[in-house]
């Protein structure tokens, strides 16, 4: 039996789909994120944003042109994990039924750039996963590269 030297590519992000698909890698990453342990847990908001911005047809991806994930990505790129946490905290408060504060206290959802979703990215979930295990060593740097590549693809030429 011959081994396929060219595994299929993801139609949405362009990464190789072997040995694990993007969906399988995402499930593994969510399990690590939900542990709330560093380095994975604190970056949950930006990695979910990157995944959905690279996989907008995913069954769990937000629909519509206003996307909190884009706001999360922009905050992370401009101010790192602290800025990301501030925007996520604001979004949680906005979504809480217990909040009686006016909307001016919250960061608004930011519209995505007016363009078709890109289908090729310099860094994808497969790169962040390395061998499928999302190793802690270098994770922060790989997520930063993923965020930068996602931003560049969405803001660059169509």
Q: How far is CA 47 from the centre of its chain?
A: 3
**Which residues have a Cβ under 8 Å from the Cβ of 130 and sit 6 or more positions away?**
142
CA-to-CA dists, residue 80 to 14, 18, 141, angstroms = 26, 31, 11
Rounded to an integer, what distance in angstroms lies between the CA atom of residue 144 and that of residue 27? 20
pTM: 0.86
pLDDT in tens, 102-137: 444 445 567 888 899 999 999 999 999 999 999 999
Rounded to an integer, what distance in angstroms lies between the CA atom of residue 12 and that of residue 22? 10
Question: What are the boundaries of each domain within the chain?
Answer: 22-155
pLDDT in tens, 35-93: 889 999 999 999 999 999 999 999 999 887 667 889 899 999 999 999 888 888 777 76
Rounded to 5°, angle at Cα 67 from 109 and 21: 150
Cα torsion through 23, 57, 86, 139, rounded to 10: 30
């Amino acid at each position: 039996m011959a081994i396929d030297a060219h595994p299929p590519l993801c139609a949405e992000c362009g990464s190789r789909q072997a040995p694990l698909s993007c969906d399988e890698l995402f499930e593994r990453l969510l399990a690590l994120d939900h542990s709330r342990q560093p380095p994975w847990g604190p970056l949950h908001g930006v990695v979910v944003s990157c995944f959905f911005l690279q996989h907008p047809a995913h069954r769990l991806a937000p629909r519509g042109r206003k996307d909190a994930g884009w706001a999360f990505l922009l905050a992370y790129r401009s101010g790192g994990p602290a800025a990301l946490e501030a925007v996520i905290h604001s979004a949680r408060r906005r979504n809480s039924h217990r909040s009686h504060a006016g909307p001016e206290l919250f960061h608004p959802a930011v519209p995505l750039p007016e363009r078709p979703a890109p289908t090729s990215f310099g860094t994808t979930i497969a790169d962040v996963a390395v061998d499928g295990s999302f190793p802690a060593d270098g994770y922060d740097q790989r997520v930063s590269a993923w965020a930068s590549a996602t931003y560049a693809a969405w803001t660059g030429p169509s």
